[in-house]
Amino acid sequence: MTPECGWAERVALAVDDRLVAVEVRQHLESCLDCQSLLAELQVDQTLLQSPPDVSEDLRANFRLRVLAATSNSRRWWFAGAVAASLVVCLAGITVQALRTLPVISYVPPRPQVANVVSPPAPVDLPMPSSSARISRSSPPAVSAGELMNQLATLLQPPSQATATSDAVVVLTTTTSDPEVIIILLADSEGVFND
């Protein structure tokens, strides 16, 4: 029975301690319940210290189980490594085979799109006031050089102009400034147009 004195836990601790505290020893001398408890705990200790018997047959069977399991695990590792190698080899062979095959490509016909001179990007012009900035997106600004290029495609160059009665003779005078070009148009009679 559990002693009513409240010393049970200290008595239980005393089972482990070879050097039982003086006060516990003194209590044990005077408390019969605690003496009885200590004796019972020591019996339990004997019971607990008795190891479960593991027979030789059990050991042998167990060892076989363990060794078989570790060997299986090694076998699985090996099988996994072989499988992974095969997959890598097959992938390599497939890639190589795909590279050697003739490539048949289809190029769709190009849609007919008129050549359009794209307008240049909008230009921010410097304004007197730094805070007031106006973005000009239209009309598109065309530089003098681009205008000349367009004119040149429309008109034959003077050197190739044929002197027919209706032919227009174009005389161009370039200046040192590439942006400034003077164009003089004259008819076959030499009359200049403004």
Partner 1 sequence: MLITDSGSLSMDFESLVRQHEVRVLRLTIRLTGNHADGQDAAQEVFLRLHQNLSRLHGPEAVLPWLRRVAVNVCFDLGRRARSRPVVPLDSLTLATGESDPEAQAFTKESRDQLQRALAQLGERERTALVLRELEGLSTAEVAETLGTAESTIRVQIARARLKLRELLKGVTV
Per CB under 8 A, the list member of 19, 22, 32, 48 interacting with partner 1 is: 48
Rounded Cα gap, residues 53 and 80, in angstroms: 40
Per CB under 8 A, the list member of 25, 26, 62, 136 interacting with partner 1 is: 62
Rounded Cα gap, residues 122 and 128, in angstroms: 19
Shortest separation between residue 97's beta carbon and partner 1, angstroms = 40
Rounded Cα gap, residues 61 and 81, in angstroms: 30
DSSP H helices, the chain, are: 8-16, 22-30, 32-49, 56-100, 144-154
Which segment (38-46, 108-116, 120-128, 137-145) binds partner 1 by CB under 8 A?
38-46
Near partner 1 in 71-130, by CB under 8 A: 73
Q: HSE of 159 in the Cβ direction (CA atoms, 13 Å)?
A: 0
Which segment (53-61, 80-88, 117-125, 169-177) binds partner 1 by CB under 8 A?
53-61
By CB under 8 A, residue 25 contacts partner 1: no
Shortest separation between residue 78's beta carbon and partner 1, angstroms = 15
> Is residue 2 within 8 Å of 12, Cβ to Cβ?
no
Q: Which residues bind partner 1 (CB under 8 A)?
A: 2, 8-9, 12-13, 15-16, 37, 40-41, 43-55, 58-59, 62-63, 65-67, 69-70, 73
